Structure 1
Amino acid sequence: MPIYEYRCQDCQKKFSTLVGVVAGTEEVICPNCKSAKVTKLVSIFARYRSEDDRIDAIADQLEFMDEPDSGAEMRSLMREMGKATDDDVSDEMEAMFEADMEGKGDDE
């Protein structure tokens, strides 16, 4: 069943809803203000992937990757891994990278 995006004409909130493929049309109601005055939006196609799928994709990339040569490459890799696991570790990782570049790592 497809997921469609709508915008409420009363409260202007954008929302998504799962719509059946049966010929009968069900009235779509805004979950925010309960209005039936909604407009269907044109949205891009998206393939929803599980966390395992995202981690597997990164693991496949790592198989063919050499050691990162620079801090920028390592940062990019860590950001991708954070996105794949839905973890927002960017601030912590940025602080670690900065400390490492300044020679203030945990090794001292």
Structure 2
Amino acid sequence: MEKSHASPHLFLISENNEGIVLSSYDIPNGEDKNTFSYDSMKAVDYSELNESKKFTPALYREKDGVWEGGSTSQFSPVMIFKLWERFSEDSLEVSEIIEVNGRRTFGYDDPIVYKRKIFV
């Protein structure tokens, strides 16, 4: 059996004058970080949420009908997380890279491409 590690996240998608912003929030106080999910999340006041200090909000800009952007986050003094995404009419491209001490430990040279399937 393959081992996996759940790493739940809580995101806010908002808009500002530069484009669309993806922000990350810490799992709310009182929630189990190992089992947290949308289904298990209790009601929480937005003002009680804390924006993640580790994740740099990702900014996406639209050009010719395609949204593209991302961010680089310093997760620790030695760990960097790079996120890049491209949303088009026919696909979503995602690149997530983790570097530790300047060496890539996760991610690929080319983004993962999720092609949209149109059902008729």
Give your verdict on TM over 0.5.
no
Q: Determine which structure has more spread, i.e. the larger CA radius of gyration.
A: 1
Q: TM-score, normalised by structure 2?
A: 0.19
Greater strand share, structure number: 2
